[in-house]
A and B are shown apart, each in its own frame.
Chain A
Amino acid sequence: MAKIELKDIRKSFGAVEVIKGVSLDIRSGEFMVFVGPSGCGKSTLLRLISGLEDITAGEMSFDGQVVNALTPSKRGIAMVFQSYALYPHMTVYENMAFGLTLEKGKPKEEIKKRVHRAAEMLQISDYLDRLPKQLSGGQRQRVAIGRAITRDPRVFLFDEPLSNLDAALRVATRIEIAKLHESMRDTTMVYVTHDQVEAMTLADRICVLRDGLVEQVGTPMELYEKPDSMFVAGFIGSPKMNFISGKLAEGFNAPTVGVRGEHLVIKPSDGVWSGEVIHSENLGSDSYIYVNVGSEEPVVVREDGATKHAVGEHVEIAPIDGRVHRFDKAGKPIR
């Protein structure tokens, strides 16, 4: 159980400021995902929370207690690293028990009990005697998670834990982590990823970062439906939101409008925009139709099922009512 409060947190490496003043509350027991493009500072922010990196300025507290100066272990955090970072010379059991054996006066029996409980949770009980090099990538990732669980942390940190796994395993492990969150309702989890699908599927709330600053914090649906900026609107959702500006947006009384592909329909006539189909992608369940309406980039329309529109066809498109996002010149939403 820990509520994490960040107050104007800054971090510089030499002359370069990477985190430029982040204030954020992470609720107790919440699954918070930091997402953003590479170089936005999300990993650094996680490392500041972990205590592996020094905070340059600002105040961080766990449950009201300032932790700026505390070591990671005193903060009660556990972390799952991108490369798993298992101790290569220790068995799975030793890997998971290592942190507990360092705590003075922990009875062996209790350590054993906790390791076995975590191992059962992750179904790795059969591998406890093996060395990391004898395990597959997915199994190593489970051990890394198990090691973190064993420590029974107040705060559970994940640093892009799925990026070393192949696509199929990534989905499976994602579900695993979601279940883990269900069963550890008391533990606050902070998760860093550059993959917005991971963010959308796992998060209670998402924090979008850009250039060392927070762009927006909210539930996945809030970010999807009410993005606070063009950046967030463009970052969340797949396919990317279409932005149309200039003359083509005049009808909406805004410099720029944004519409998601799934909120556009192709009509035989009376569309808001019109143009030629220049490309279409058929995914089976749905399809993306790229239409050149005269904006900078082609507009992508998402349709259910296989598309009936061929390349070269002239189509009219219109947004669904209430699904148009209007943005001012600074990229802020007009509501």
Chain B
Amino acid sequence: MTTETMVRPAVADSGAKRSELLAQRVRAARWFLVPMLVALAIVAGWPLLRSIWFSFTDASLNDLYGAEFIGFDNYLRWQTLESGRTIYRGLLVDDAWWNAVWNTVRFAVISVSIEAVLGIIVALVLNAEFKGRGLVRAAILIPWAIPTIVSARMWGWMLNDQFGIINDIMLRLGLISQKIAWTASTDTAMTAVLIVDIWKTTPFMALLVLAGLQMIPKDIYEAADIDGVHPVKQFFRITLPLVRPALMVAIIFRVLDALRIFDLIYVLTPNSPATETMSVLARENLFDFDNFAYGSAQSTLLFFIIALFTIVYIWLGRVNFDGGDR
């Protein structure tokens, strides 16, 4: 019956303990998370630490446990000869490594740029209303659904110098005068890899951009039409800024994927220095050349390069991954 509005006490806490419900939920959350976290620690955390550790040792494939700590020698060591000349060795002065870094970066930048442009074009097409749109969407899912190894092999066959259909088409169209050894020649190997990668991953880009496009309210365009804004201007002033968040997320996923590329190159252009990427080189050293420690150093460096890139990108692009908070 008594109702009075009280003055706020100096200390606004009369023993407000955490309620049982909240405690129960937090406790449950902890137990729900533990198995996943333990699993991730075992399959990701610990191996990562061990890889980094191996990069500071002289470990070899057959003698993992006898590995001894040798500091930064895998990365850089030097020796001064009697003649007074200093010789530098190690990963940081390894031409093969920097070639691989260059290949990887070149591949990532070119492939993702082209994929972004093509992805936007395909998304715009799919966002338009026309007969058979469902069919087209199904069609572009096919490259995405095909395993990378299979597409590498399929394209390897199509790009074959003697019996490949690509050379045949281009000859018939008069684009080339003689057959090209796409995957074998150092001049064209990277192009071949790019063609296959772009073919395979543009659908992913297109789908993410399409999802972004579909969230743009239609009436914005109606208003722009009434205002007489030219369609090209509409694209650059309305569409692009509004799909930017979706595009930024798609791009970072793709770049991270491109920077670690392994399977396509391993199968399509094996042993070609023109396409050898960081992952391919590191695995070669780890398991084929018996330079386990050196390969570990390469994979460690790769990890930090990618981590650095990601942080800078998220920071500069202000990419928002977390949709909401509840």
Contacts and interface: CB of A to CB of B under 8 A. Distances in A.
B6 interface: yes
A72 B21 contact: yes
B21 A214 contact: no
B21 A71 contact: yes
A8 B21 contact: no
B8 A21 contact: yes
A70 B3 contact: no
Contacts of A25: 1-2
Contacts of B5: 20-23, 213-214
Interface residues of B, number: 20
B14 A58 contact: yes
Interface string A1-38: 00000001010000000001111110100000000000
A335 interface: no
A261 B5 CA distance: 30
A275 B19 CA distance: 60
A184 interface: no
A23 B6 contact: yes
B2 A68 contact: no
A97 B5 CA distance: 41
Interface size class of A (residues with CB under 8 A): 20 to 34
A71 B24 contact: yes
Given A21-B8, A57-B13, A57-B14, A216 B3 contact: yes
B20 interface: yes
Interface in A18-69: 20-25, 27, 51-52, 54-59, 68-69
B3 A23 contact: yes
A57 B16 contact: yes
B4 interface: yes
B8 to A, nearest CB: 6
B6 A8 contact: yes
A69 B22 CA distance: 9
Contact of B14 (A27, A52, A59, A72): A59
B12 interface: yes
B18 interface: yes
B17 interface: yes
Label chain A's interface by main secondary structure.
Answer: strand
Contacts of B14: 8, 57-59
Contacts of A71: 19-21, 24
Contact of A70 (B2, B4, B16, B20): B20
B16 A24 contact: no
B6 to A, nearest CB: 5
A51 B8 contact: no
A51 B8 CA distance: 23
A217 B3 contact: yes
Contacts of B20: 69-71, 74
A5 B8 CA distance: 19
Nearest to A48: B19
A62 B6 CA distance: 21
A272 B319 CA distance: 67
A172 to B, nearest CB: 33
Nearest to B12: A57
B4 A69 contact: no
A23 B21 CA distance: 23
Nearest to B4: A23
A72 to B, nearest CB: 7
Contacts of A10: 12
A71 B19 CA distance: 7
Nearest to A55: B16
Interface string B3-36: 1111111001110111111101000000000000
A214 B20 CA distance: 27
A71 B22 CA distance: 9
Contacts of A58: 14, 16
A229 to B, nearest CB: 11
The 7 closest A-B pairs by CB, nearest first: A217-B3, A71-B21, A21-B6, A213-B5, A54-B19, A57-B16, A69-B19
21 contacts: A8-B14, A23-B2, A23-B6, A24-B3, A25-B1, A27-B1, A54-B18, A54-B22, A55-B16, A56-B16, A57-B14, A57-B16, A59-B14, A68-B16, A68-B17, A68-B19, A69-B17, A69-B19, A70-B19, A74-B20, A216-B3
Given A70-B19, A71-B20, A74-B20, 15 more contacts: A8-B6, A21-B8, A23-B2, A23-B6, A51-B19, A52-B21, A54-B21, A56-B13, A57-B13, A57-B14, A57-B16, A58-B14, A58-B16, A68-B19, A216-B3
